[in-house]
A and B are shown apart, each in its own frame.
Chain A
């Protein structure tokens, strides 16, 4: 228990110096003893943290690594998951709708009371960094804050089917749901890890983001925040109160290097140990050739696709003059070698997806194989639909309308620019004229959201469960994420049944993915499997798909390869 703040408060209040025992005033001794006794079980479970410093180089600065404050940015989530424990974590099978496929974390057990009620019992050893016990009230408090629209709103949408979260006792928290559906457990444990109510309850929800807590979060995870240098690094050090096991690496440093070139230099010069997603770099071969690094394939949550607008961008009430024709969309897909393109752009572990599913979600769905690369079939499809070069200008046309469109691509994404250029060339050979238009990231986002494009080279970070398909590929998603106005009532029905079914969800989702792929509202280009590199100084490396470094506390350092920064 840190008594320094108490002493400081007394001094600032002008209190007279009093006699102390080992720096503690006699009146406070009972409180101190009580606090020590309360913390005893947790401290007894401790083991000395391991040695070593793992330096991870990242592209964006984790500025708000606090649950409920992330805004879809992976950097904040990854640091947050090292500071704040979830109630449970997925096991390696990633069967997220199966309650048995989760491992205890902050909750040591759970029980389903009925189809609408789940009760979690918290681990009594769990303590916040400041020594206060983690209680059911903290879980309910985080769920309450997550539902607060002023905090960003996305979490409120995700948790819309959670009716209430109540603290039944100190250690038992009960989630009640509005309806029966397959992802109740996932919703309860995944989105909003508990927050320390004793520190945050007094703060208005919209002022937490600018409060000192964000700069100095108090968590309950394997690490606590050690130091933060704006624009340079976030240092985490082992949390001595962590109760789930021995923390194998004593210190984690997240280094910020927005330039890809700088990230590679930091690894090759020995200043950093690990990096996410090397295949997003312009020249990953430099790292692939470095023998001191081990590469780990990690199925990701990203999906890259060429979104085909089914509505006219000039007037979204009308169908698109070219792309509303399903024959054209199918031909466009058949004409491009997606398997080769995806590997060139995202590395050797990546494959073209069968439909709108990331590598992680696709793995769980046992999705059907993607449509083939067949330029002859593409030609036949277009000819059968009446697209021919009637005027001999080298571009196919029908009823006086040339088969031309524009492909919008964000200028910050080298891989998407490369894929757009490859598709442009493949289509040119068929007599389709596509004009690639690179636009600035902010312009891209605004135009995409407004549906102001023909074809957009898009990338999304999906949820790890297939229920997220609803927002982009269902009739109900129109006007939200479904900017292209794709609507197939059969798909909607399958997605709805998948969400409600607790037994056959996978079967319904698989069929929905197959139908969407057949309708071709997009060309599904790549479901990247990230290439993570980690220096061979580390052993027992475990990586998590939804939060790459969350298990770094389980790693170890090879003592013979320790460096000065490891406290050799």
Chain B
């Protein structure tokens, strides 16, 4: 196991390095100058432009810029944002990351609790009317684009009916010293529409995966044996069948872990969620290289880390994989 883990860790590190390297050079090859926008309304004098280029290292040859980025990243220094007057990228990402993690984490939680339960529930009623109805519903949810759903929910349940707030993480007039319970209730209220929007499509996929895996598991000899021993159906389903159906779900979990940081850009825009989405969108438009590279590092690490975690969990839970 330890040699396997070492190999996987090494592979993950190489993948991460390749991803970062590719993004770094592709970004610099894309047309556009991060300083051009600053001169749009009123041209900066050449000495001011030169000073800014030197400040952000843009006057250096590409390999040196790349080495500086890697060296800085290893020390935890991602440089300063060009658009934000040189504020450290680490601070900017740190300010926005909690909101994104909260939104992505809530969506994942809803996805895997509701999705798993519904998949198991459907598998137990395979072929019945309830199964067919749920299949249609989940397929519709799966096929619905999240940006469209978000716009419709914000308009219908927010603007028209005013049941839920249409933006932000907290009521903007909530006093900073409001008690914890008030803040928590306010936060939950604000989470409803973005989380439903973000998780609607992914729940559909989770249900489909869980249903298929569960149907396979319910056919296993071990499950038949458990039933023949007279165990209650609930125990058979959750204790014996579901455990065997966990493997594909873990793989899916690994794939969707990046949702935590990268999956919510559109939803953050629609609901003005103060996460990484608007920061990254702005950085793309303005070619704010340091912010873009910081965000890339964050997202790549989550993707590679998510897959690694899923592999480790699968191997830990399934003895057949360990033996292979």
Q: Does B282 contact A (CB under 8 A)?
A: yes
Q: Which residues of chain A come closer than 8 Å to B279, judged between CB atoms?
A: 231
Choice from B40, B45, B96, B158 contacting A149 with Cβ under 8 Å: B45
Considering the complex, give the chain A residue whose CB is closest to the CB of B266.
Answer: A259
Q: Which residues of chain A come closer than 8 Å to B36, judged between CB atoms?
A: 442, 445-446, 448-449
Q: Does A255 contact B (CB under 8 A)?
A: yes
Query: Is there an interface contact between B96 and A150, defined as CB atoms closer than 8 Å?
Result: no
Q: How distant is the Cα of A149 from the Cα of B162 in the complex, in angstroms? A: 50
Q: Does A284 contact B (CB under 8 A)?
A: no
Question: Digit string of B28-68 for contact with A (CB within 8 Å is 1, else 0)?
Answer: 00011110111111111101110100010000000000000
Question: Digit string of B267-280 for contact with A (CB within 8 Å is 1, else 0)?
Answer: 00111101100110
Query: Is there an interface contact between B166 and A210, defined as CB atoms closer than 8 Å?
Result: no
Query: Is there an interface contact between B85 and A259, defined as CB atoms closer than 8 Å?
Result: no
Q: Does B80 contact A (CB under 8 A)?
A: yes
Q: Does B128 contact A (CB under 8 A)?
A: no
Q: Which residues of chain A come closer than 8 Å to B41, judged between CB atoms?
A: 72, 460-462
* Nearest Cβ on chain A to B291's Cβ, whole angstroms: 12
Q: Does B263 contact A (CB under 8 A)?
A: no
Besides A55-B173, A265-B154, A269-B158, 15 other A-B contacts (C-beta < 8 A): A149-B47, A156-B48, A157-B44, A227-B176, A231-B275, A232-B272, A255-B168, A258-B272, A262-B272, A412-B285, A441-B37, A442-B32, A442-B34, A449-B36, A565-B171
Q: Which residues of chain B come closer than 8 Å to A53, judged between CB atoms?
A: 173
Choice from B38, B48, B85, B278 contacting A256 with Cβ under 8 Å: B278
Q: How distant is the Cα of A446 from the Cα of B286 in the complex, in angstroms? A: 11
Q: Which residues of chain A come closer than 8 Å to B162, judged between CB atoms?
A: 269-270
Q: Which B residues from 6 to 36 make CB contacts under 8 A with A?
A: 31-34, 36
Query: Is there an interface contact between B38 and A72, defined as CB atoms closer than 8 Å?
Result: yes
Q: Which B residues from 158 to 186 make CB contacts under 8 A with A?
A: 158-159, 162, 165-173, 176
Give the number of chain A interface residues (Cβ < 8 Å).
63
Q: Which residues of chain A come closer than 8 Å to B165, judged between CB atoms?
A: 269, 271
Considering the complex, give the chain B residue whose CB is closest to the CB of A439.
Answer: B31
Q: Which residues of chain B come closer than 8 Å to A261, judged between CB atoms?
A: 151, 154, 270
Q: Does B237 contact A (CB under 8 A)?
A: no
Q: Does A22 contact B (CB under 8 A)?
A: no
Q: Does B124 contact A (CB under 8 A)?
A: no
Query: Is there an interface contact between B167 and A154, defined as CB atoms closer than 8 Å?
Result: no
Query: Is there an interface contact between B87 and A209, defined as CB atoms closer than 8 Å?
Result: yes
Query: Is there an interface contact between B87 and A256, defined as CB atoms closer than 8 Å?
Result: no
Q: How distant is the Cα of A260 from the Cα of B272 in the complex, in angstroms? A: 10
Given contacts A259-B272, A265-B154, contact A481 B31 (CB under 8 A): no
Q: Which residues of chain A come closer than 8 Å to B48, judged between CB atoms?
A: 149-150, 152-154, 156
Considering the complex, give the chain A residue whose CB is closest to the CB of B98.
Answer: A230
Given contacts A209-B85, A209-B87, A231-B275, contact A265 B166 (CB under 8 A): yes
Q: Which residues of chain A come closer than 8 Å to B31, judged between CB atoms?
A: 442-443, 446-447
Q: Does A386 contact B (CB under 8 A)?
A: no
Q: Which residues of chain A come closer than 8 Å to B172, judged between CB atoms?
A: 55, 232-233, 235, 253, 255, 271, 565
Choice from B45, B166, B270, B286 contacting A441 with Cβ under 8 Å: B286
Considering the complex, give the chain B residue whose CB is closest to the CB of A302.
Answer: B41
Q: Does A266 contact B (CB under 8 A)?
A: yes
Query: Is there an interface contact between A210 and B154, defined as CB atoms closer than 8 Å?
Result: no
Q: Does B71 contact A (CB under 8 A)?
A: no
Q: Which residues of chain A come closer than 8 Å to B42, judged between CB atoms?
A: 72, 154, 157-158, 463, 468, 471, 481
Query: Is there an interface contact between B176 and A156, defined as CB atoms closer than 8 Å?
Result: no
Query: Is there an interface contact between A266 and B285, defined as CB atoms closer than 8 Å?
Result: no
Q: Which residues of chain B come closer than 8 Å to A60, judged between CB atoms?
A: 282
Pairs A-B, 8 closest by C-beta atoms: A153-B48, A442-B32, A231-B274, A565-B173, A209-B85, A230-B95, A232-B274, A445-B36
Q: How distant is the Cα of A441 from the Cα of B283 in the complex, in angstroms? A: 11
Q: How distant is the Cα of A255 from the Cα of B278 in the complex, in angstroms? A: 13
Q: Which residues of chain A come closer than 8 Å to B55, judged between CB atoms?
A: 206
Question: Digit string of A120-158 for contact with B (CB within 8 Å is 1, else 0)?
Answer: 000000000000000000000000000001101110111
Q: Does B248 contact A (CB under 8 A)?
A: no
Query: Is there an interface contact between A63 and B87, defined as CB atoms closer than 8 Å?
Result: yes
Choice from B85, B158, B166 contacting A64 with Cβ under 8 Å: B85
Query: Is there an interface contact between B159 and A210, defined as CB atoms closer than 8 Å?
Result: no
* Nearest Cβ on chain B to A536's Cβ, whole angstroms: 18
Query: Is there an interface contact between B33 and A446, defined as CB atoms closer than 8 Å?
Result: yes
Query: Is there an interface contact between A265 and B88, defined as CB atoms closer than 8 Å?
Result: no
* Nearest Cβ on chain B to A458's Cβ, whole angstroms: 9
The 22 sampled A-B contact pairs (Cβ below 8 Å) are: A55-B173, A61-B278, A150-B51, A206-B55, A231-B99, A232-B170, A253-B172, A258-B269, A258-B281, A261-B151, A266-B166, A266-B272, A269-B159, A440-B32, A445-B36, A447-B31, A449-B33, A449-B40, A461-B41, A463-B42, A481-B42, A564-B173
Query: Is there an interface contact between B274 and A229, defined as CB atoms closer than 8 Å?
Result: yes
Q: How distant is the Cα of A259 from the Cα of B40 in the complex, in angstroms? A: 23
* Nearest Cβ on chain A to B299's Cβ, whole angstroms: 17
Q: Does B84 contact A (CB under 8 A)?
A: yes
Choice from A156, A262, A461 contacting B271 with Cβ under 8 Å: A262
Q: Which residues of chain A come closer than 8 Å to B34, judged between CB atoms?
A: 442
Q: Does A257 contact B (CB under 8 A)?
A: yes
Q: How distant is the Cα of A565 from the Cα of B51 in the complex, in angstroms? A: 46
Q: Which residues of chain B come closer than 8 Å to A564, judged between CB atoms?
A: 173
Query: Is there an interface contact between B154 and A262, defined as CB atoms closer than 8 Å?
Result: yes
Query: Is there an interface contact between B272 and A256, defined as CB atoms closer than 8 Å?
Result: yes
Q: Does B86 contact A (CB under 8 A)?
A: yes
Q: How distant is the Cα of A230 from the Cα of B171 in the complex, in angstroms? A: 14
Query: Is there an interface contact between A230 and B287, defined as CB atoms closer than 8 Å?
Result: no
Given contacts A266-B167, A565-B173, contact A442 B33 (CB under 8 A): yes
Considering the complex, give the chain A residue whose CB is closest to the CB of B92.
Answer: A230
Q: How distant is the Cα of A48 from the Cα of B139 in the complex, in angstroms? A: 60
Q: Does B238 contact A (CB under 8 A)?
A: no
Query: Is there an interface contact between B272 and A253, defined as CB atoms closer than 8 Å?
Result: no
Choice from B154, B173, B286 contacting A442 with Cβ under 8 Å: B286
* Nearest Cβ on chain A to B280's Cβ, whole angstroms: 11
Q: Which residues of chain B come closer than 8 Å to A63, judged between CB atoms?
A: 84-85, 87
Q: Does B316 contact A (CB under 8 A)?
A: no
Query: Is there an interface contact between A71 and B38, defined as CB atoms closer than 8 Å?
Result: yes
